Amino acid sequence: MPQTFNVGSRSLFVTAVAWVFIVLGALASLSALVQNATVASMAPGATVLAGSQPLPWFTGLLMGYLPWVVGAGLAMSLATLVCAIGLLLRVEWARRIFIGLLGLAIVANLAGLWVQHEIVQSIVSATLGATPLPPAAADVFGGFVAATRAMAITVSLAACGALAWTMSRLMSPAVRQEFT
């Protein structure tokens, strides 16, 4: 009869990361399913709207590829859920893929900052250009927009830092020993 040896003990860090990402992956998967249904139901209306008013270049590009982006979000959330369950079971391939998914999440988060900047800029300039506001009111509105951008940058960079720290801990020798 073959013997099985457990080399490393199960750490609380890996178990906690696994459970946190199981919950986040399940919630993100449910949210992505709702988003897919929403995009599918609004697609006919979006073509009519695009025909009546020309969209800015970047917004038109996003609207054109929106079903693919939302589908990629669903695939990422399901992959995160599967890999988090694999982490809980201490499966090596799940740890490696999970580290890659965390790296991809960092890249997507940083790219999302740029996309958010572009969209907010186009919405603010279109809104302020179409409404007759006094300059003082426009400056106050611009201050709120600047504060929102600063907060978004802070939260996104903090999330990227936490994900990078989690990646480094999952690549540490002590954690790798749990998965052998």
Looking at the 3D structure of the chain, how many domains does it have?
A: 1
Question: 68 or 129, which is more confident?
Answer: 68
Q: Is residue 7 part of a domain?
A: no
Q: What is the rounded average pLDDT of the residues 57-72?
A: 78
The pLDDT value given to residue 116? 81
28 with 87: CB under 8 angstroms?
A: no
Contact 175, 15 (CB under 8 A): no
- Which has the higher per-residue pLDDT, 64 or 90? 90
**CA atoms 70, 150, 111, 162: torsion sign:** negative
- The one-character DSSP state at 44 is H
Is 94 domain-assigned?
Answer: yes
Q: Check pLDDT > 60 for residue 49.
A: no
1 inside domain: no
Percent of the chain with pLDDT over 70: 79
Is 2 inside a domain boundary? no
Residue 172 belongs to a domain: yes
Cα 112 to Cα 29: distance, rounded to the nearest angstrom: 19
139 part of a folded domain: yes
At 36, is the pLDDT very low, low, confident or very high (cuts 50, 70, 90)?
confident
- Enclosing domain of residue 167: 12-178
pLDDT higher than threshold 90 for residue 115: no
Alpha helices by DSSP H, 53-91: 57-64, 66-88
Overall average pLDDT of the 141-156 stretch = 85
pTM equals 0.78
Distance CA 76, CA 145 (A): 30
Looking at residue 44, its pLDDT comes to 62
The end-to-end CA distance of the chain, in Å, is: 20
Lowest mean pLDDT segment, chosen from 8-17, 35-44, 80-89: 35-44
